[in-house]
Structure 1
């Protein structure tokens, strides 16, 4: 009798577990977010936006709320004036519908065009906000009649918060961009793209790169760091921050700028491949590790981005 009862108990428990498992599979989590849907309209550019979503899983939105732009897990990122100075951030406005086609062409030619589908699918954020205004906000000071902190703004090509990148030029100015403005767009939007990748922790350095420099021995000068092939600096450095610095150098400096002779006291990436800053050749060796990784893994030459910022 005891065995019979035990068998019935086990069978009952198994049936209960199976029923629970089945019910879990069909339930929709109460916290799911179904806010974002494309297309947002029935314009011709909506087809392009849907195609991008199908390829990369990224929502390109021309209708959005402040929450879509500014909410992050660590706080609200819209610039404010809490203690007499403005917090870092950007103010945005959604694109004018008449210029979205041209804006999408700008994004295709000056941003997406540098990367393969594999790269974009891996690294694009969840949302791209199509904007006619992206103004970086900062604190400015007026000295007359009294010393006062006021809001300063500067038009920028792009900005990012958490899971989204806000892209400018969704207005008439997209059709009158000068060559210099287009190069500046390439510089800014691709730099912001890389910074958003770093912030989301998506791109760890390879073991080869991490093991190719000594990050543990204390240093006191840039010359010492350069001698080890390190370009991020000499204080509180990591392989990750150094890896990010090499990527940033490639997408913001042209090959001639990186190879120019620049004083070793200069703390920018300019001249890092020249013997003035790289007498041991360690920087160039590690630069090639990073560049070749992206070429081999994703079919992307990041240096072509930096070259384009200078019209090469």
Structure 2
């Protein structure tokens, strides 16, 4: 991440605080959308040698990958979508300028460049609608920096 000053630091801080709050809310309620989890296979490890394109194709975001062979767990997947949404403006998520499917940033994750299967968009929609319907929280407005 390229922090260029106080404003960038404030945006990052705001996103992290909001993500922490939502995660706390989730852990207290212990309710998530079954529709979201039905879209992914959490039992097959993804070798780190796989390209980002292959990870995007099965609906996984570039957040939380730390080991050489990744067994995606459902909670980490759910939280990666929340984190991506509350920390990133929608304009960035839909911006395909200068990206490829090998790019491991959140830029363009809702475009066909990275989301060739449409699974990322489906999971994004499920998560954002879940919070709107259940808690009247618009995660993307938070990510956009709106009040």
TM-score of Structure 1 vs Structure 2, range by shorter chain? 0.7 to 0.9
Q: Tell whether the 8 Å contact from 1:258 to 1:272 is kept in structure 2 after alignment.
A: yes
Structural RMSD (CA):
2.7
Q: Quote how far apart the aligned CAs of 1:269 are.
A: 2.3
Displacement over 4 Å in runs of 4+: 178-182, 195-198, 200-204
Distance 1:269 1:197, change over 3 A: farther
Query: What's the counterpart of residue 227 of structure 1?
Result: 57
Match among 101, 115, 118 for residue 264 of structure 1:
101
Distance 1:205 1:252, change over 3 A: same
Summarize deviations over 1:100-139 as a string: whole Å, max 9, x none. Answer: xxxxxxxxxxxxxxxxxxxxxxxxxxxxxxxxxxxxxxxx
Looking at CA atoms only, which structure, 1 or 2, has the larger radius of gyration?
A: 1
User: Is 2:85 aligned against 1:254?
Assistant: no
TM-score, L = length of structure 1 = 0.38
Q: Quote how far apart the aligned CAs of 1:179 are.
A: 6.0
Match among 245, 267, 290 for residue 80 of structure 2:
245
**Larger proportion of helix:** 2
User: Is 2:104 aligned against 1:276?
Assistant: no
Residues 17-32 of structure 1: pairs in structure 2 closer than 5 A: none
**Larger proportion of strand:** 1
Gaps in structure 1 of 5+ consecutive residues: 1-177
Q: Tell whether the 8 Å contact from 2:19 to 2:82 is kept in structure 1 after alignment.
A: no
Q: Quote how far apart the aligned CAs of 1:205 are.
A: 3.0
Q: Tell whether the 8 Å contact from 1:294 to 1:301 is kept in structure 2 after alignment.
A: yes
Relative contact order higher in (CA < 8 Å, ≥ 6 apart): 2
Gaps in structure 2 of 5+ consecutive residues: 1-5
Q: Quote how far apart the aligned CAs of 1:183 are.
A: 3.8
Q: Quote how far apart the aligned CAs of 1:285 are.
A: 0.9
Query: What's the counterpart of residue 38 of structure 2?
Result: 211
Q: Secondary structure at the match of 2:36?
A: helix
TM-score, L = length of structure 2 = 0.74
Aligned length: 132
Match among 181, 191, 207 for residue 19 of structure 2:
191
Q: Quote how far apart the aligned CAs of 1:195 are.
A: 4.7
